[in-house]
Amino acid sequence: MIGVLCGDEEIDAVREFFELFKTAWERHDRDRPCDVIVATRPVDLSQLEARLVVRFGSDAAVTDRGPGDVSPCELREGALVEGSARRLVLHGPVRLFAEDGRSLMRVVPSGEPVAVERREGSTRVIRCGYDLFGEIGRLLVEGQPPEAAGLPTLDHHIDLLRHWIVDSGLSVVEVPPVPPGYDYAVCLTHDVDFIGIRNHRGDHTMWGFVGRATIGALRDVLTGRASLRTLIRDVRAVLSLPLVYAGLADDFWIDFDDYVELERDLAATYFFVASADRAGATANGPASSKRAVRYGPDDARPWIDRLQARGFEIGLHGIDAWRSVDAGREEGAAIASLAGREALGVRMHWLYFDRDSPTRLERAGFAYDATSGYNETVGFRAGTHQVFRPPGASTLLELPLHIQDTSLFYRRRMHLREPQAWALCESILCSAARHGGIVTISWHTRSLGPERHWGRFYSRLLEHVLAQRVCIRSALETVRWFEQRRSVEFERVASDPQLLRLRRGRGATLEPRGLTVRVHRPAAGPDGVGATYADAPWTDGRERLVEVPPARETPR
């Protein structure tokens, strides 16, 4: 059991942190001793009984009272730090320390200590010069800047705390963010910005396509980014436009059937816009007219029916839902009536969002939001592979977006060649295999055809994922699974201190995929070598008793 010493103003961030690091914790009570104490304020070690005390905070005072106090030095605003083979981007104040303790984390590349340890009798004390729960709050509200997108910083915070506990000779019981038998999950999503080019006659979209499919395609051939065959296909598409508009040729921007063929029985999610010719607004006034889509409910209805008949999920691609409860209700109702369902998820068009959006979307009745991601890059905006509850929400959960086709390939964004894009995507998938959780992929409709031709890359991505132990479910199914995991509560067994009772909440549906109970065991020798974990599936029953192995000595 982890005891947390924190201020009331931090408790929401503490609760969310331990929903993501799903292990046993409670606010510290002197009458209920804990093996581990995590503190964010000054502590008097003589008053604490614990094997490990981890003290977070950027304050300069000598706070861990005892003969081996470490000396605080310089204060910085933000830093890239590294420890135990994990890198963290810290966005708030960071306190550095003198070289009078064993350093566990250092600034990259300068090497100043950010976390140091010492011994006070039988207690291991780790002093970290940053505000853990302040960092968590920033990640879930503001997210990481694009230059830090490649690091799952929040997941590394969890990893470090777990590592320090196990390295102190203690076992950790947790419910990891993966169903039994899988390494991670994948959500396949599609933002429906276009239903064919037939709705675009003489507008900026049509002329933009013509330019990219001719001059742009020729430039790509000359620079080695595309083949001559691709150029020929694009030019043919441009020449066929009069026939497409006359209804005498297929609309090459309608690729729903191609996606169905690619994904077959995989449960993808399609986000549709609720109304045509509505650009919406930004925080500072009307949005660009280019944000408006040209299709309406009558265009969407037949495709929604066909997709649902094949088992795909339908959600809202919101316009103003992010900034107005009334708009969210109106847009959600329009798509819900087409889809014939009540539980509806949302992803905002162009990823518009602000810190109050979760509250508005929750009040508008959405089951989840899937907007947390980047337009200009790929990676971890919130620093995590996990579904999380954004600050301000009570029931709404956030499904983070990790990989987006337009971010990778669009000329005004990263504009990567396929080998570069593949290396980035592979690093995200490898990170998921290490941490568990999900990878959410967004591939826009019209991206399989001219002039984008991003279908080959998407097929390769699917083949790579399907070759691994990966659970692929719709966005709503994924969120429901995380809701079940979040409902688990840990309870001490009074009659036996080596037992923990895990209980699923009464409101949680017993999902057929079930949960996993993982027990991390410390190494028998020093330096963490030989630390292991064991998994057990939890597929039935609301309660599970788990034996916690006794602490081991860790000579240093």
CA distance 118 to 54: 11
* C-alpha angle 329-260-211 in degrees, rounded to nearest 5: 80
Mean pLDDT, to the nearest integer, of 167-180? 94
| Domain match, 211 and 331 both | no
pLDDT on residue 71 = 67
Report which residue type is found at 112.
E
Query: Same structural domain for residues 313 and 280?
Result: yes
**291 shares its domain with 317:** yes
- What is the pLDDT averaged over residues 371-375? 97
Asked if residue 554 belongs to a domain, the reply is no
User: Which residue in 4, 157, 182, 161 sits closest to 81, CA to CA?
Assistant: 157
**177 within some domain:** no
In a domain, 179, yes or no: no
pLDDT of 379 reads 98
pLDDT band at 73 (very low <50, low <70, confident <90, very high): confident
If asked whether residues 260 and 342 sit together in one domain, one would say yes
Report phi then psi at 550, rounded to 5: -65, 160
What is the number of structural domains in the chain? 4
Per residue in 447-460, pLDDT (tens digit) is: 999 999 999 999 99
Statement: residue 325 has pLDDT above 60: yes
Position 273 scores a pLDDT of 97
My answer on whether 261 and 390 are in the same domain is: yes
Query: Which pLDDT tens digit goes with each residue over 282-298?
Result: 989 999 999 999 999 99
- Domain range for 406 is 184-196+253-481
Residue with token string 């669009």: 410
pLDDT for res 100: 64
The verdict on residue 174 lying in a domain is no
Q: Are residues 218 and 140 part of one domain?
A: no
Q: Is the pLDDT of residue 510 over 80?
A: no
Residues 295, 333: one domain?
yes
Q: What is the pLDDT of residues 152-173, one digit of tens each?
A: 999 999 999 999 999 999 999 9
- Tell me the mean pLDDT in the region 345-358: 97
Regarding whether 239 and 123 lie in a shared domain, the answer is: no
Q: Are 448 and 146 in contact (CB under 8 A)?
A: no
Q: H-helix or E-strand containing 18?
A: helix 11-20
Residue 178 lies in a domain: no
pLDDT digits (tens, 9 = 90+) for 388-443: 999 999 999 999 999 999 999 999 999 999 999 999 999 999 999 999 999 999 99
Q: Report the residue count for the chain.
A: 556
Task: Give yes or no: residues 138 and 205 share one domain.
Answer: no
Q: Report pLDDT digits (tens) over 97-115.
A: 887 668 999 999 999 999 9
Phi, psi of 67 (to 5 degrees): -70, -15
State the pairing for strand pair 313-318/345-348: parallel
Per-residue confidence (pLDDT) for residue 21, from 0 to 100? 98
CATH of the domain at 312: 3.20.20.370
**Cβ 429 vs Cβ 175: under 8 Å:** no
- Judge contact between 5 and 37, C-beta under 8 A: yes
Q: What is the DSSP letter of 23?
A: B
Do residues 289 and 427 share a domain? yes
Q: What is the reported pLDDT for 67?
A: 47
- Does residue 142 fall inside a structural domain? yes
The reported pLDDT for the residue numbered 527 is: 54
In a domain, 176, yes or no: no
Phi, psi of 21 (to 5 degrees): -90, 85
Say yes or no to pLDDT of 526 above 60: no
Using a cut of 0.85, tell me whether the model's pTM lies above it: yes
> What pLDDT, on the 0 to 100 scale, is given for residue 552?
81
Q: Are residues 101 and 209 located together in one domain of the fold?
A: no
**Six token digits for residue 63:** 């706070």
Which has the higher per-residue pLDDT, 228 or 497?
228
Per cent of the chain over pLDDT 90 is: 82
Q: Are residues 41 and 106 in the same domain?
A: yes
Q: Answer positive or negative: Cα dihedral of 168, 174, 177, 179.
A: positive
Q: Which residues of 317-349 are buried (b: 16+ CB within 10 A; e: fewer)?
A: bbbbbbbbeebbbbbbebbbebbeeeebbbbbb
Question: Is residue 509 scored above 90 in pLDDT?
Answer: no
Choice between 70 and 220, residue whose per-residue pLDDT is larger: 220
- Give Dmax (Cα) for the chain: 86
Mean pLDDT of the 482-486 span: 95
- Given a contact cutoff of 8 angstroms between Cβ atoms, the answer to whether 400 and 148 are in contact is no
* String of DSSP letters for 106-155: EETTT--EEEEEEEETTEEEEEESB-HHHHHHHHHHT---GGGTT--HHH
Rg of the chain over all Cα atoms, to the nearest angstrom = 26
